Structure 1
């Protein structure tokens, strides 16, 4: 995953923007950006159920996905012919579908503490932009060299490697811009906390660090379970952890409550990857929307390879049980997160 200085610089600029723009006054000369919540009736869409017997996870995921998809479609707007192709490449991956698990986790975590979706949505969108960036860069020939993503040709296949790299950089930059400019009704200190968590989840102790070690160990037969967990705690789990903890922070959670949500997120982050490894062995490319069997083809170590299929399934269940235990202090307020934890290991793609 190629992370460039442009994106890093943008991160620090965005922190500054949080203080300058947070009160609601746009800076002079700001490039046109989408009014993220201008026409979406958000409050009416938030209605988490109060018990597991009545909670409809399919309905919940669908309703939140509709909100996220609508807002994402308004985010990347070209200012003219000069950047039209770049914006097209960004939107190609950003709007290619997907389950929107990360933004929904952010929203669900915020709801536990009474957070309003209007305040959480910019961060939820930023998380999906970061995720899309990671997929664009992960698919590059220098990385995993894949040509299929979400049932479509990968970004670099359509737009070329150079523009795909720039599209990923621009998505990462845009994610911080959106949080800094559009988060309303939240203390500035909490917004800066969110920005810091987003920055951390991408860097050397996040996505980039996990991807680097994944590449380093590719093809090595002596990779240990401890090393595999480190890779996926960072490559996969870091962004899922950021999704949950930023939602909690935006919702007004106390530090001890954020820690409980963090424990939940670390377990489901690993469970997500275990489930991915199982699906890579059991589903077709058409079902997955990406190339099936790719890990085995390049001799990557997976949970299935180390633990066997039955062992991997038991590991996924153990991790979900740990995640659910972390949510016990929140009782029925955490029904959405509990249901999402089960969904993560029961999904089919």
Structure 2
């Protein structure tokens, strides 16, 4: 069966652009994904990062949903320990009510920020410990079966918003399997435990009302262009910019020269950062297709969620289109 294809929009704010520019780019990417046959577009919750615009994730989802027609949209993910389950149930119940049959809710337990920002979010440093219980509480609200007597989420949509467990370790795999939920692995930036986590998830999966069989989504980076050299050039530029952002969280690091960034990536410390994007498909549509087919088979993924990293919006949109067309050709064989 052909592997489903989806899009992870990192909502970057590029140098010289505004957050509003980023939101308009997200609309353009989602529209491109919609016409190119992608299953869904997800946005991730990050805080205090000047180069990422998706901190108010549910608001971004609603804005993009209003400018698209059919593609599924969701969080990949909401960092649940940052919030009360009731608030998230209300937000996503509202989204599902407004855009029925189109909303997903992926859940993670990381802070999506640094320790200082975590405290500013009013998050208790032990809140991640109750993540499994918070997932159960959230499920109850969304299904109209609250585990908190006398409390319900309003509005509650006609059908529950499907939940996904996100992770990059065995913890998420085990929780997703025990809960009978789909599992999305963040292999686009944390590749090390991919194969072990997927194996544990599949071997220990328990069916639920939402899901009868295990379902795995694996993240992978993509830069597709008309020529191989053009794709490599776009990838090099994008990963240099990414390294600058990591070094300084979007601040002083922007002044580092390309030569300094390349030297850092070649150093022992930089190699750890470079290895985070181990799973990257780069090249022509045919080269990207071959890589994605191989990656899906190797990772035993039912669906690939692709993060397109070209610096310009036009190049990201084109990468989305070229990849979608190449993978659609596989499905029609």
What TM-score results when the alignment is normalised by the length of structure 2? Answer: 0.30
Structure with the largest fraction of helix: 1
What TM-score results when the alignment is normalised by the length of structure 1? Answer: 0.29
Structure with the largest fraction of strand: 2
